[in-house]
Structure 1
Amino acid sequence: MAETLAADPAGKRRERRPTPAASVTLYDRTSGLGKVGRYALLAVISFVVLFPVYTTVVGAFKPRHKVLVDRLVPTSVTFQTFIDAWNEGRLGRYLLTSGIVAVVVTLAQVVTSLMSAYAFAMLDFPFRRTLFVVMLATLLVPMEATLVVNRRTIDSLGWINSFQALIIPFTATAFGTFLVRQALLALPTDLRDAARIDGVGHLGFIRHVAVPLVRPTLGALALFSFLGTWNSYLWPTLVTTDADMNTVQAGLRTLKLQGLDAPNVVMAGTVIAAIPIVIVLMVFQRQLIRGLTAGAVKG
């Protein structure tokens, strides 16, 4: 039965009450509608995000005279646009520069974040909380507010058109320190006490205990650092005037100015510049998810 009659001791007839089976059916219907709504919303968001990417990739394979024709499904495909973008845009040189800068900055940020996070999480020194709050406050200062001063500092040091200008200002990050510190605070304090009893120093504890346990967080930080450095545009443009020191993002700007009558070449250059990002995301996707969700679920 979908429902039953409830009666009081006096024999009076009362309202019908749904049985557990009817409640479960109603819950399943509501849950199913909610799931369909969530999937529909995700499909719309995915379409909005991926449609420009699709049009860019499709436009990169079109000949110059058919870029604005058959926008969704190309009738002719050519790979010459990628060859032209690689040669005219000097993307090989720019990709090498961006790769060197991104790798060095990533390694530096991981090391400095780990060391500073360990100090704030495991060591006891005066004004520790105050210094940590001051460091976090730097996240509230936008990069644009310090560009002029930093640019003058780099110029006074004679680092214009050098790797030092592209790397050294980004060797440390407050966000990385905060992220790794939260992971270190989740470690049992007994581990540090046991290591101290065994005579293990700070560097030994970091190397043999802390790093293996917070490796997912370090992987997520490394991925964030690499992507942020690779996509950086404003700062490399300010500190490099020599074409040989341009990063790939600045190189795409030059390619765009040179190829105003060839938008398909610019699209091909954009696709080439995005290939390393796609590869990194595909390889370290699981590491990113593990790092972001570490400590989110407690047993």
Structure 2
Amino acid sequence: MRIASSLRRRLNNTGRFFLNIPLMLIILVPLLYTISISVMPPDEIYGNHLIPTSVKFTNYIQAFTNPYYNFPRMILNSFIVSTTVMLGQMVTCSLAAFAFSFLQFKGKKILFLGVLATMMVPGEVTIIANYLTMAGWGWLDSYRALVFPFLTSAMGIFLLRQYYLTFAKELYEAAKLDGCSNLRFLTSIVVPLSRPALGALGAYVFLNTWNQYMWPLLVTNSREYRTVQIGISMLYDIDAVSLGLMMAGVVIVIVPSLSIFVFMNKQLINGLMAGAVKG
């Protein structure tokens, strides 16, 4: 029986592997072709070559060294904005989720439903109001305009609240009896035990902010504050025939996203699933 069960399990794993091969090809082929174009000479790009006959890193060198593009500055801006928004949401969403999970106050359920209702509002609906607010405060073309509107999110509050609900209420009550304040309980007990959920939230927020295009394009005018997604379009608009240069920029931009998925894949899945299953 054990031999038959082991053989059946191996056959299932083998079948799943072969079923995943088409999906893997769908994902990898466009990425590999993008890398191929980025190192391909211009005459081969427009000659419909799939594989370059000679590898040239001229496009990558030009993207990083040409002062007209200022691509390294845009990469730095994206890192600054994405990291700041990520840390900001981890702080604000943790505080809000703690209040909705452990504290008791009037109107808590109604207020939480109101927070969840904002998830159904498309970002395009609020973009004009946010822009007018940033303009009224004189924050256009600055890091403040890129960061401030995204320092909290309903999704982050919901995710952390669901995870916090898995904690035993007796743990909070015992801490209060020992004279532990709410802030100390949050920072000393809840946050250390919520690393999977916080890691998932951080990765999700970082990727979303890193890939933003419309909002940074709207609120920034100078290259000093432009982000990397705008930089990719600028690489192509400057010279319409520089397809290889734009693809080199795309590969550079994809590296952080792929790194997060490769190194934080398990933590990302566990963090997203833990609250959904236990909460």
Above 0.5 in TM-score? yes
Give the corresponding residue for 1:114.
94
The offset of 1:205, in angstroms, is 0.5
SS in 2 for 1:85: helix
C-alpha contact (below 8 Å) 1:259/1:265 kept by paired residues: no
Residue identity in the other structure for 1:71: H
The 5 Å alignment of 1:241-252 reads 241-252=221-232
1:42 to 20, 35, 41: 20
Tell me, yes or no, if structure 1 residue 198 matches structure 2 residue 196: no
The percentage of aligned residue pairs carrying the same residue is 38
Structure 1 gaps of 5+ residues are 1-22
For residues 273 and 196 of structure 1, do their structure 2 counterparts lie closer, same or farther at Cα, with a shift above 3 Å needed? Answer: same
TM-score, length basis structure 2? 0.91
1:166 to 146, 153, 157: 146
TM-score, length basis structure 1? 0.85
SS in 2 for 1:253: helix
Give the corresponding residue for 1:219.
199
Task: Name which structure has the greater RCO, CA cutoff 8 Å, separation 6+.
Answer: 2
The offset of 1:207, in angstroms, is 1.1
Residue identity in the other structure for 1:58: S
Moved over 4 A (4+): 23-37, 295-298
User: How many residue pairs get matched?
Assistant: 276
The offset of 1:26, in angstroms, is 10
The offset of 1:29, in angstroms, is 9.5
The offset of 1:70, in angstroms, is 6.4
Tell me, yes or no, if structure 1 residue 294 matches structure 2 residue 274: yes
Residue identity in the other structure for 1:178: F
Give the corresponding residue for 2:39.
61
For residues 292 and 155 of structure 1, do their structure 2 counterparts lie closer, same or farther at Cα, with a shift above 3 Å needed? Answer: same
- Structure number with larger C-alpha Rg: 1
The offset of 1:33, in angstroms, is 7.4
Higher helix share: 2
The 5 Å alignment of 1:145-184 reads 145-184=125-164
Could you tell me how far apart the structure 1 residues matched to 2:98 and 2:264 are?
A: 24
Tell me, yes or no, if structure 1 residue 133 matches structure 2 residue 129: no
1:129-184: per-residue Cα shift (whole Å, max 9, x none)?
00000100000000011111211111111111011110000000000000000010
Residue identity in the other structure for 2:133: T
2:65 to 79, 83, 87: 87
Structure 2 gaps of 5+ residues are none
Could you tell me how far apart the structure 1 residues matched to 2:211 and 2:127 are?
A: 17
Could you tell me how far apart the structure 1 residues matched to 2:3 and 2:192 are?
A: 48
